[in-house]
Structure 1
Amino acid sequence: MSTDRLLAIYELIALREREGTGPGLLCTVAAQITRMDGAGVEISSIDNSMTGLCSSSPTSVALMDFEKIAGEGPSKSANVSEVAIDGSDLTMELPPWPVYTPMALSVGVRAVFGFPIRLGAVRLGALSLFRREVGGLSEDQYSDGYLVASVIGRSLLAMESGARSGELSEELQRHSTLDFAVHQAAGMISVQGAMSVKDALVALRSHAFARSTGIADVAVQVISRRSRYVRNQGFVYDANY
């Protein structure tokens, strides 16, 4: 359930706050939740230039620097396209980013991923994840990636609103809403149906309208595995539901 994953994220944020992790807190939590080797968050400006907010490790810092030097990479691609970016094999013959990829390989990174950070229609930046081995993300990891990106977006808003050090997890829980569930379900549907997250959100809304129910209800059904999206068939429900 989305609430279970949110609780796990909140608990990790609270734990890191108590440990005094500092500015890398959100990135450390993102790497742990998604079970990746590291994470970085970059904030977008009006001209789509990116500024580093946090990193979970020196390698994450290096990867963000490489994106600035190369002018390309998973964070920039996720921010501009507003969809998840899959760079699961940087060793392939034709890499997705010809300048950035050799730099990433030079520090032992073999796979990178990017998730857009948004609040409604507002583009805030991107979350990047890396691992040292070639390999794609599981459906759960994609879902968690979108969810933690949404939490980071809320965190940025909370920090701008004056949340004090050590109180971020409490501030997030006070303002948590069902849109986290919708974003998590959209991430899952985008993987299941091999579509963009925008199209997944359209599918969610259309299905909710057809069933005369709320979009949050449909989202919860997807997250709980009572329903899944099958390409060319639409939403398929568990026979026991």
Structure 2
Amino acid sequence: MERAVDVVNTMFGYSGAGLMFAEEGRDLRYLVATDERGRSLEGAQLYLGQGPCVSAYEQNSAVTSTDVHTDPRWPKLADRLHPDVRAVAGVPVRLGGEPVGTLNVYQSTAYEWDESDVQALYGYADVIEQLLMAAMAAEEKSALADQLQYALDYRVVIERAIGYLMGKHDMTATEAFTGLRKQARDSRRRVADLAAEVLGEGAGELR
């Protein structure tokens, strides 16, 4: 995300940029900014709970300001901003059509944002959405890989415990595994941990 924000300035020639993302409670939080001026913009908005970028998130649409120091919509914002933050534009960053944050850019002088600026920012916000989706998919694959590795690592222990229970209680493999899994769930433990205990203690008594 830091690299993605840095590229905004290179591509579009703005004075600075930043990203804010929402937490589970849908409150925006600072993520990354290109410089101190950008951090003052995001910090001021988060402190006051208002500003062009906050409005872009709440309205799920682009919000621009020619000069935030004189914009009557957010009269308290100027006092907390770096003096070089003047014109500001914010567009929502979405996932599945719902806003999850904002992409914010600023100019150090007053500037009239036009439709080409807004559309360019929307296009780049779409790129960030694709990055987020790729990261989420990678995380899901990693979690699945961990689960599969866990199953492989403990397969032998579980199978041995099932064999022990089958012999001790005259059960089928399905009955032994079902009972082992139920007891693990009831005691909020992992099946592999319970299987190791069954083998270690030789108890194997199912409830």
Same fold (TM over 0.5): yes
The equivalent position to 1:159 in structure 2, one of 135, 150, 155, is 135
C-alpha contact (below 8 Å) 2:19/2:102 kept by paired residues: yes
Q: Following the alignment from structure 1 to structure 2, what is the Cα–Cα distance between the partners of residues 43 and 125?
A: 4
Which position in structure 1 is the counterpart of 2:77? 100
Q: How many residues are treated as equivalent by the alignment? A: 139
Which position in structure 2 is the counterpart of 1:59? 37
> Any unmatched runs of 5+ in structure 1?
1-22, 164-241
Which position in structure 1 is the counterpart of 2:87? 111
1:25-104 equivalent positions in 2, closer than 5 A: 25-92=3-70, 94-104=71-81
Q: Following the alignment from structure 1 to structure 2, what is the Cα–Cα distance between the partners of residues 72 and 50?
A: 11
User: Structure 1 residues 34 and 96 mapped into 2: Cα distance closer, same or farther (>3 Å)?
Assistant: farther
* Superposed displacement of residue 36, structure 1: 0.9
Residue type of the partner of 2:53?
S
Q: Which structure would you say has the larger Rg?
A: 2
RMSD of Structure 2 on Structure 1 (CA)? 1.9
Query: Which is bigger in relative contact order (C-alpha 8 A, separation at least 6)?
Result: 1
**Runs of at least 4 residues of structure 1 off by over 4 A?**
none
Counterpart check, 1:149 vs 2:122: no
Q: Following the alignment from structure 1 to structure 2, what is the Cα–Cα distance between the partners of residues 32 and 95?
A: 31
Q: Following the alignment from structure 1 to structure 2, what is the Cα–Cα distance between the partners of residues 82 and 122?
A: 8
Q: Secondary structure at the match of 2:138?
A: coil
C-alpha contact (below 8 Å) 1:28/1:56 kept by paired residues: yes
Q: Could you tell me the TM-score, scaled by structure 2's length? A: 0.61
Q: Secondary structure at the match of 1:159?
A: helix
* Superposed displacement of residue 53, structure 1: 2.2
Q: Following the alignment from structure 2 to structure 1, what is the Cα–Cα distance between the partners of residues 57 and 119?
A: 18
User: Structure 1 residues 96 and 31 mapped into 2: Cα distance closer, same or farther (>3 Å)?
Assistant: farther
CA deviation map 1:160-213 (0-9, x unaligned): 3338xxxxxxxxxxxxxxxxxxxxxxxxxxxxxxxxxxxxxxxxxxxxxxxxxx
1:175-194 equivalent positions in 2, closer than 5 A: none
CA deviation map 1:34-92 (0-9, x unaligned): 32111111111343311222211121122111112111112211000011001112243
Identity percentage of aligned residues: 24
Residue type of the partner of 1:67?
Q
CA deviation map 1:105-130 (0-9, x unaligned): x4321111110111333321111111
Q: Following the alignment from structure 1 to structure 2, what is the Cα–Cα distance between the partners of residues 112 and 127?
A: 11
Q: Could you tell me the TM-score, scaled by structure 1's length? A: 0.53
* Superposed displacement of residue 159, structure 1: 2.1
Moved more, 154-163 or 33-42: 154-163
Q: Following the alignment from structure 2 to structure 1, what is the Cα–Cα distance between the partners of residues 46 and 67?
A: 21
C-alpha contact (below 8 Å) 1:87/1:96 kept by paired residues: no
Q: Following the alignment from structure 1 to structure 2, what is the Cα–Cα distance between the partners of residues 25 and 129?
A: 15
